[in-house]
Chain A
Amino acid sequence: MTQEAQTDSVPCAAWPEALLIATLFAMDPHGLGGISIKGRSSPFFDAWLDLLRELLPEGAPLRRCPVQTGDDRLLGGLDLATSLALGQPVVQRGLLSEVDGGVLVLPMAERLSSATAARIAAALDEGQFQLERDGLTSLLPARFGLILLDESIGPEESPPFALLERCSFRLDGNGLGLADLAGDGLSLEDIQRAKAALPSVGLEQDALVDAICEAAQAFGLPSARPALLCLRVARMVAALDGRKAASLGDVTLAAQLVLAPQALQLPPPPEEPTPDEADQQPENQDEADPAEAESEPAPPPETPPDTQAEAEAKNQPNPSEVLVDAVKSALPAELIAALGSQAKPNRQGRASGSGGGAMQKSPLRGRPIRSRSGTLKPGERLNIIETLRAAAPWQKLRRRPQAEGATGMKRIEVRKSDFRIRCFAQPKEATTILVVDASGSSAFQRLAEAKGAVELLLAQAYVDRSRVALVAFRNETAEVLLPPTRSLARARRQLSDLAGGGGTPLAAGIDTALMLALAEKAKGRTPRLLFLTDGRGNIGREGKAGRAVAMADALLAARAVGLSDIAAVHIDTSPFPRPGARELAEAMRAIYAPLPYLNAQAISAI
Chain B
Amino acid sequence: MRIAFPFTAIVGQDDMKLAMLIAATDPGIGGVMVFGDRGTGKSTAVRGLAALLPPIKMVKACQYHCDPRADKSSCATGCVHRLEGEIPDVGEMATPVVDFPLGATEDRVVGALDLERALTQGEKHFEPGLLARANRGFLYIDEVNLLDDHLVDLLLDVAASGENVVEREGLSVRHPARFVLIGSGNPEEGELRPQLLDRFGLSVDVKTPDELALRVEVVRRRDSFDRDSAGFAARQAEAEAAVREKIVAARGRLSEIETPDAALEWASRLCMAVGVDGLRGELTLIRAARAVAALEGDTKVEDHHLRGIAVMALRHRLRRNPLDETGSSTRIERAMSDLFGS
Q: Which of B206-225 contact A (CB under 8 A)?
A: 208, 211-213, 215-216, 218-220, 222-223
Q: Say yes or no for A71: interface residue by CB 8 A criterion.
A: yes
Contact among A223, A370, A396 for B122, CB-based, below 8 A: A396
Q: A74–B187 contact, CB under 8 A?
A: no
Q: B323–A389 contact, CB under 8 A?
A: no
Per-position binary interface string of chain A over residues 460-472, scored 1 when its CB falls under 8 Å from any chain B CB and 0 otherwise: 0111000000000
Q: A122–B219 contact, CB under 8 A?
A: no
Q: Say yes or no for B101: interface residue by CB 8 A criterion.
A: yes
Contact among B99, B215, B226 for A217, CB-based, below 8 A: B215
Chain B residue numbers with a CB within 8 Å of A487 are 187-191
Q: Which of A106-141 contact B (CB under 8 A)?
A: 114-115, 118-119, 122, 125, 127, 129-137
Q: B115–A388 contact, CB under 8 A?
A: yes
Q: Say yes or no for A545: interface residue by CB 8 A criterion.
A: no
Chain B residue numbers with a CB within 8 Å of A213 are 212, 215-216, 219
Q: Say yes or no for B193: interface residue by CB 8 A criterion.
A: yes
Output the least CB separation between B275 and chain A (Å): 15
Q: A118–B143 contact, CB under 8 A?
A: yes
Output the least CB separation between A401 and chain B (Å): 15
Max chain A CB contacts within 10 Å: which of B143, B187, B188, B216?
B188
Q: A118–B146 contact, CB under 8 A?
A: yes
Which residue on chain A has the smallest CB distance to residue B113?
A389
Q: Say yes or no for A374: interface residue by CB 8 A criterion.
A: no
Given known A-B contacts A213-B219, A222-B208, A294-B212, A455 and B323 have beta carbons under 8 A apart = yes
Measured between alpha carbons, how far is A217 from B216 in the docked complex, in Å?
10
Measured between alpha carbons, how far is A370 from B107 in the docked complex, in Å?
10
Measured between alpha carbons, how far is A227 from B41 in the docked complex, in Å?
14
Max chain A CB contacts within 10 Å: which of B99, B190, B213?
B190
Chain A residue numbers with a CB within 8 Å of B102 are 115, 118-119, 122
Given known A-B contacts A115-B146, A217-B215, A488-B191, A135 and B119 have beta carbons under 8 A apart = no
Chain A residue numbers with a CB within 8 Å of B116 are 87-89
Q: Say yes or no for A214: interface residue by CB 8 A criterion.
A: yes
Output the least CB separation between A515 and chain B (Å): 24
Measured between alpha carbons, how far is A88 from B112 in the docked complex, in Å?
16
Measured between alpha carbons, how far is A199 from B37 in the docked complex, in Å?
30
Which residue on chain B has the smallest CB distance to residue A386?
B107
Output the least CB separation between B119 and chain A (Å): 6
Output the least CB separation between B151 and chain A (Å): 9
Q: A600–B223 contact, CB under 8 A?
A: no
Q: Say yes or no for A568: interface residue by CB 8 A criterion.
A: no
Q: A425–B148 contact, CB under 8 A?
A: yes
Contact among A114, A227, A294, A496 for B146, CB-based, below 8 A: A114
Contact among A132, A458, A490 for B188, CB-based, below 8 A: A490
Q: Say yes or no for A392: interface residue by CB 8 A criterion.
A: yes
Chain B residue numbers with a CB within 8 Å of A74 are 103
Which residue on chain B has the smallest CB distance to residue A453?
B322
Q: A290–B212 contact, CB under 8 A?
A: yes
Chain B residue numbers with a CB within 8 Å of A224 are 39, 41, 208, 215, 218-219, 222
Which residue on chain A has the smallest CB distance to residue B218?
A224
Output the least CB separation between A445 and chain B (Å): 13
Q: B191–A456 contact, CB under 8 A?
A: no
Measured between alpha carbons, how far is A165 from B223 in the docked complex, in Å?
18
Q: Say yes or no for A558: interface residue by CB 8 A criterion.
A: no
Measured between alpha carbons, how far is A383 from B159 in the docked complex, in Å?
28
Q: A389–B142 contact, CB under 8 A?
A: no
Measured between alpha carbons, how far is A367 from B122 in the docked complex, in Å?
32
Q: Say yes or no for A395: interface residue by CB 8 A criterion.
A: yes
* Chain B interface residue bracket vs A: 35 or more
Q: B105–A132 contact, CB under 8 A?
A: yes
Measured between alpha carbons, how far is A591 from B190 in the docked complex, in Å?
30
Main secondary structure of the interface of A (DSSP, over half): helix
Chain B residue numbers with a CB within 8 Å of A452 are 322-323
Chain B residue numbers with a CB within 8 Å of A291 are 212
Q: B219–A228 contact, CB under 8 A?
A: yes
Chain A residue numbers with a CB within 8 Å of B41 are 224
Chain A residue numbers with a CB within 8 Å of B113 are 389, 392-393
Q: B188–A351 contact, CB under 8 A?
A: yes
Output the least CB separation between B42 and chain A (Å): 11
Chain A residue numbers with a CB within 8 Å of B211 are 290
Chain A residue numbers with a CB within 8 Å of B2 are 127
Measured between alpha carbons, how far is A378 from B104 in the docked complex, in Å?
27
Q: Say yes or no for A492: interface residue by CB 8 A criterion.
A: yes
Measured between alpha carbons, how far is A161 from B146 in the docked complex, in Å?
15
Q: A462–B148 contact, CB under 8 A?
A: no
Q: Say yes or no for A182: interface residue by CB 8 A criterion.
A: no
Output the least CB separation between B326 and chain A (Å): 11
Q: B322–A455 contact, CB under 8 A?
A: yes
Q: Say yes or no for B89: interface residue by CB 8 A criterion.
A: no
Output the least CB separation between A205 and chain B (Å): 13
Q: Which of B50-104 contact A (CB under 8 A)?
A: 99, 101-104
Output the least CB separation between A65 and chain B (Å): 14
Chain A residue numbers with a CB within 8 Å of B208 are 222-224
Per-position binary interface string of chain A over residues 349-393, scored 1 when its CB falls under 8 Å from any chain B CB and 0 otherwise: 001001000000000000101100000000000000110111011
Chain B residue numbers with a CB within 8 Å of A119 are 101-103
Q: Say yes or no for B342: interface residue by CB 8 A criterion.
A: no
Residue pairs across A and B with Cβ atoms less than 8 A apart, 17 shown, are A71-B103, A87-B116, A119-B102, A132-B108, A132-B130, A134-B108, A135-B115, A217-B215, A224-B41, A227-B215, A290-B213, A392-B113, A393-B169, A458-B322, A459-B191, A462-B192, A487-B188
Q: Which residues of B contact A (CB under 8 A)?
A: 2, 37-41, 43, 99, 101-109, 112-116, 118-120, 122, 124, 127, 129-130, 142-143, 146, 148, 150, 169-170, 187-194, 208, 211-213, 215-216, 218-220, 222-223, 226-227, 320, 322-323, 325
Given A290-B213, A389-B115; 19 other pairs, CB 8 A cutoff: A71-B103, A87-B120, A88-B120, A118-B102, A119-B103, A135-B115, A161-B188, A165-B38, A213-B216, A223-B38, A290-B212, A291-B212, A369-B150, A370-B106, A389-B112, A459-B191, A462-B192, A485-B190, A488-B187
